[in-house]
Chains A and B, each alone.
Chain A
Amino acid sequence: MANKFNFQRARMVPVPSRAIVPDRDLEHTPALECIHLGIEFGGLKAVDDFNLTIGKTEIAGLIGPNGAGKTTVFNLLTKVYQPTHGTILINGQDTSGKSVAQVNRMGVARTFQNIRLFDSMSVLDNVKVGLHNQEPYSAFEGVIRAPRFWAREREFEERAHELLDIFDMGGLASERAGSLPYGAQRRLEIVRALATNPRLLLLDEPAAGMNPSETAELMENIVKIRDTFQIAIMLIEHDMSLVMNICEGICVLNFGRVIAKGTPEEIQSNETVIEAYLGKQKEAGTDE
């Protein structure tokens, strides 16, 4: 790997992070700000000096070769790993010292590269688990079936169905999540993440394993989610057509460092990226 993509630090292209926030979001607090974010695993800098700002309703892409640290960035943002350097601000609030669950309550929801659903539960229940913190009532109220239990459960039911309908999954509501086809599982993960009412939705390779028509549908849906919920979306994806079509800002990562940031046009015409990354894919990429 190191031989294939041997970037020199001197060739990095620094781009001021605010520059790529879409104009409409400049007035608002950014959904995400990473300042000098980094993590070391026993001396290995998996992510180093990662600076990124994502506007309130921006769709941002995080790309880079395998092992570049993209998923590590997601794990830092969701506090699966505690960063060793730097700061993460979610909607202007510092997340240092917060747990995974707390960061979710602050507004970060994610999907996983290797799908992680609640397999033995129904599709509807998976979404209801996502809604968990939206309609709270105590465990005791649930056991004695207090009036609040019935009222809140009705809301759970309605909202879960509404969310499933975004992806036309209403008909699958009573299916077991683990028995769904692959594409539907990926969609369900997005629905479940959306159910937690996030401000920032992190999608880890949402189009992996999807055929071109499914990918096209997914692209529409991602834009639709942004428009309906007015949230920021950040996605890791290897499918360049998806990234270049729907992302407003793109950040390219290699060996844990940002090598380029900008709009899709800028990234496509960025020499470093073309030479070392997109260029390589085009040469080998008969599938493009």
Chain B
Amino acid sequence: MKFLNDKVTRRDFLTYGLVVAAFIVVSLLASQGVIPRSLSGQLVPVTCYVVMAISLNLVVGVAGDLSLGHAGFMSVGAFSGVVCAMSLSAAIPDDGIRLAVSMVVGALFAAVAGFLIGIPVLRLRGDYLAIVTLAFGEIIKEVVNCLIVGTDAIGLHVIFNVAGDKTVDDLHLLEGGVAIIKGAQGASGTEKIATFAAGFVLVMIALAVVLNLVRSRAGRAIMAVRDNRIAAESVGLSITKYRLIAFVVSAALAGAAGALYGANFSQLSPAKFDFNTSILVLVFVVLGGLGNMRGSIIAAVLLTILPEALRGFSDYRMLVYAIVLILVMLFTNNPQLKLTLGKLLPKREGAVAHGE
């Protein structure tokens, strides 16, 4: 196989292999009942966070745009996915297919949201971009907070509860109708149709989409725009187009992850997808290394599992994240610290020099 001689391709296949191996091992352990209950409940959320980290890494690591509103797209995907899954429960009896359809719907809605937000937001860069994406993340949360959605024999009923004076009764659902999203309460009574296998498939798809994109003509253009905007323009690249491609693909993947996440819980509140979640995912990306998909996966798995395994410390979780984030930033961006670290850890010296 000639293409395996390529260093980059080999590295990508190692990443795929790692995910497959992890899935097989965890599935085997789960079937033996070795995994404690508190952790087995985390299997699907872990895959969701892995997909979130991979997709955010496309924007932050590959395209070089700091986005702080990634949870917003997860929210769009989660709630559109929940609405889709519940309104189609009669039409598509098979759980697996319904889950797949709701993930596709979640991805589409999030992609549209990403496109609409991306057009104004991607006129900015750096700090300004970060602040505006943060704002849009919060706006999405508030918009979902106002949504009241129900379904009955006629179809979907949607109320936009801006004044805060409307309730589920205002949907005027027919007999046998179900309220799906109840404003700030979020969605409740949803079926738990998400499975670990579906999560694994989604991780593989997300990984394939992002890695294939990065290794293609469009991916080179995205990285070129990140490295040097002026030079990228001078060789005929449309800056906005390629930043938008990265942003929309990333939003779509986050939407699919959100739909899977929503299908894993019987109760889902819009407040779940707030600024903290965006930062959490950003921590995965930064810890795993910008542009390093394998690192993002490992960081997402470890940092989601660890707090569950050490439940007693979960109060300090955000504090620890903040400290870890600061330390990693210092160690990766401060040449003096890096030098000191290199002296302390002689084995890593070569790796650090090579990584630079």
Contact = CB atoms under 8 A, between A and B. Distances in A.
B245 A139 contact: yes
Contact of B220 (A78, A129, A141, A145): A129
A128 interface: yes
B230 interface: yes
Contacts of B232: 118, 129
Interface string A100-136: 1110110001101000111111000100111011011
A284 interface: no
A149 interface: yes
Contacts of A196: 235-236
A143 interface: yes
Interface string B205-234: 000110011011111110110011011111
A100 B234 CA distance: 6
Contacts of A135: 217
Given A129-B221, A142-B213, A142-B216, A119 B236 contact: no
B209 A133 contact: no
Contacts of A144: 212
Contacts of A116: 228, 230-231, 234
Nearest to B223: A121
Q: Give the interface size bracket for A toward B.
A: 35 or more
A118 B226 CA distance: 8
B112 interface: no
Contacts of B224: 118, 121, 129
Interface residues of B, number: 27
Nearest to B64: A120
A136 B234 contact: no
A74 B231 CA distance: 14
B218 A129 contact: no
Interface string B230-252: 11111111110000010000000
A277 interface: no
A110 B234 contact: yes
20 contacts: A105-B236, A117-B228, A118-B224, A118-B227, A118-B231, A128-B217, A129-B220, A129-B221, A129-B232, A129-B235, A135-B217, A139-B216, A139-B217, A141-B216, A142-B215, A142-B216, A143-B212, A145-B212, A152-B217, A195-B235
A137 interface: yes
B236 A132 contact: yes
Contacts of B213: 139, 142-143
Residue with the greatest number of chain B CB neighbours at <10 A, chosen from A99, A105, A132, A156: A132
Nearest to A130: B235
Nearest to A135: B217
A104 B208 CA distance: 32
Nearest to B209: A143
A36 B213 CA distance: 45
A149 B220 CA distance: 13
B230 A132 contact: no
A212 to B, nearest CB: 28
Contacts of B228: 116-119
Interface of B: 7, 208-209, 212-213, 215-221, 223-224, 227-228, 230-239, 245
B233 A128 contact: no
A120 B220 CA distance: 11
B220 A100 contact: no
Contact of A142 (B219, B227, B235, B236): B219
Given A118-B227, A153-B217, A174-B7, 8 more contacts: A101-B238, A104-B235, A118-B228, A125-B223, A129-B235, A132-B220, A156-B217, A195-B235
B235 to A, nearest CB: 5
A139 to B, nearest CB: 4
Interface string A160-204: 000000000000001000000000000000001101100000000
A137 B212 CA distance: 13
A116 B228 CA distance: 7
Contacts of A120: 223, 227
Residue with the greatest number of chain A CB neighbours at <10 A, chosen from B218, B227, B238: B227
A163 to B, nearest CB: 13
Given A118-B223, A143-B209, A143-B212, A133 B236 contact: yes
Contacts of A149: 216
Contacts of B212: 142-145
Q: Closest 7 A-B residue pairs measured CB to CB?
A: A142-B216, A139-B218, A104-B236, A116-B231, A118-B227, A100-B233, A129-B224
A134 B218 CA distance: 13
A3 B4 CA distance: 65
Given A139-B218, A142-B216, A143-B209, A193 B235 contact: yes
Contacts of A129: 220-221, 224, 232, 235, 237
